[in-house]
């Protein structure tokens, strides 16, 4: 009879188990170690030239170097970003298709559109946040108001209130303007444009008194004196315009409205791939050169974990719902 405690027999079983484990797990580890072994497709759900597109290209260029793979930008505009988001939802969860997530698309559109075609929480695996884009309220230089409180006071005594332009109905600046009305009682009338460029032209020409936009879009006009800065709606002052006060400093407390951008992959993308991408993305965002280039675009780099990014998406989705409902904003 063979002794069940025979050390040679025990060693044989251990070796067999180890070989089985290696056979089962080897391909998984090899796949993760080899990733990425082909170009990655990054869908930007907007046209070229905007801040979302330019920041995506900037980060993708530097991140691609760290991954030793090309990240190919694929612009898929339409339906305020909904088309591109839905495309990535349906893509294979293999780490080779990402989307440039934008707060307007992910946390405002679900409240504004009757149907967006995606679930911002359950249909995506967040890779990581890139950063926050500060919003600014600017005025035509001839508007007789020097600060936010004077703008609010002027709006209340102007018949019909003061008009403010934005890049479109349901955009983040539009929601921020509605939030300002709720928080301060300001009498403001929204004027939607099909992009921020024409809104800038009209406010400088005097057709409208105010524009709510990203700092990046207003920066050069503020510096040249063609636009009067009123306040930024972030918690901290913008690094590129440090002399412009925040809404909080201007007397509207508990006001924090800004845009953010970040990368996401389809849901069910392997956790090991997400973690690798997050590590490399954070290293990219901690590069002083990348941070400075993002700051020129009006974006403050904000590296963090996938879990932190998911929680921010969830929080903003809940935060903006009541504002959209109170303003009665709806797009079929």
291 within a domain of the structure (yes/no): yes
Q: What is the pLDDT of residue 109?
A: 94
> What is the CATH number for 169?
3.40.190.10
Beta-bridged to residue 258, according to DSSP, are: 134
Assign residue 94 the CATH number of its domain.
Answer: 3.40.190.150
Distance CA 325, CA 310 (A): 23
Going by DSSP bridges, is the β-strand pair 97-102/210-214 parallel, antiparallel, or unpaired?
unpaired
Confidence of residue 27 (pLDDT cuts 50, 70, 90): very low
**So what's the pLDDT on residue 255?**
87
Would 31 be classed as within a structural domain? Answer: no
Please indicate, yes or no, whether residues 138 and 128 belong to a single structural domain of this protein: no
Residue 116's closest CA among 124, 227, 241, 218? 124
Whether 2 shows a pLDDT value over 50: the answer reads: no
246 is a domain residue: no
- Is pLDDT above 90 for 123? yes
- pTM for this entry: 0.79
* 120 and 140 fall within a common domain: no
Q: Is the pLDDT of residue 22 over 70?
A: no
Q: What is the mean pLDDT of residues 125-134?
A: 95
Q: How far apart are CA 47 and CA 83, in angstroms?
A: 12
Q: Is residue 138 part of a domain?
A: yes
Residue range 234-262, pLDDT digits in tens? 888 988 899 999 999 999 988 888 889 99
Q: Do 185 and 99 share a structural domain?
A: no
Range of the structural domain that residue 295 is part of: 38-132+258-327
* Structural domain ending residue among the three candidates 232, 247, 281: 232
Tens digits of per-residue pLDDT, 49-85? Answer: 778 889 999 999 999 999 999 999 999 988 889 999 9
Residue 250 in any domain: the answer is no
pLDDT tens digits, 145-186: 999 999 999 999 999 999 999 988 888 899 999 999 999 999
Average pLDDT on 15-39 reads 59
Q: 302 and 284: one domain?
A: yes
Residue 295 lies in a domain: yes
**How much is the average pLDDT of 5-32?**
46
Specify if 19 maps to a domain: no
5 found inside a domain: no
How many domains does the structure of the chain reveal? 2
Q: Clarify whether residues 160 and 126 are in a common domain.
A: no
């Amino acid at each position: 009879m063979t002794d069940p405690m025979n050390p040679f027999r025990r060693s044989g079983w251990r070796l067999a188990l180890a070989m089985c484990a290696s056979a089962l797990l080897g391909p998984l580890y090899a796949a993760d170690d080899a990733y990425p072994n082909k170009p990655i497709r990054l869908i930007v759900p907007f046209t070229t030239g905007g801040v979302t597109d330019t920041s995506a290209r900037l980060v993708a260029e530097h991140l691609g170097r760290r991954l030793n793979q090309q990240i190919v930008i694929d612009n898929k505009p339409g339906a305020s970003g909904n088309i591109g988001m839905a495309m990535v939802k349906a893509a294979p969860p293999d780490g080779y298709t990402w989307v440039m997530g934008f707060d307007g698309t992910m946390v405002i559109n679900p409240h504004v559109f009757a149907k967006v075609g995606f679930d911002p929480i359950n249909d995506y695996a967040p890779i990581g946040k890139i950063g926050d884009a500060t919003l600014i309220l600017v005025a035509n230089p001839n508007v007789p108001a020097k600060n936010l409180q004077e703008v609010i006071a002027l709006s209340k005594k102007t018949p019909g209130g003061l008009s403010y332009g934005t890049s479109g109905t349901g955009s983040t600046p539009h929601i921020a303007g509605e939030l300002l009305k709720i928080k301060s009682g300001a009498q403001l009338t929204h004027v939607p444009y099909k992009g921020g460029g024409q809104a800038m032209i009209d406010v400088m020409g005097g057709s409208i008194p105010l524009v709510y936009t990203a700092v990046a879009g207003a920066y050069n006009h503020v510096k040249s004196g063609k636009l009067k800065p009123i306040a930024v709606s972030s918690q901290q002052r913008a690094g590129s315009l440090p002399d412009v006060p925040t809404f909080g400093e201007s007397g509207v407390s508990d006001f924090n409205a800004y845009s953010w951008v970040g990368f996401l992959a389809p849901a069910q993308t392997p956790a090991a791939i997400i973690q690798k991408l997050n590590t490399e993305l954070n290293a990219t965002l901690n590069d002083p050169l990348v941070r400075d280039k993002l700051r020129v675009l009006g974006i403050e780099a904000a590296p963090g974990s996938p879990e932190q990014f998911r929680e921010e998406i969830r929080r903003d989705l809940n935060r903006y719902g009541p504002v959209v409902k109170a303003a009665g904003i709806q797009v079929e």
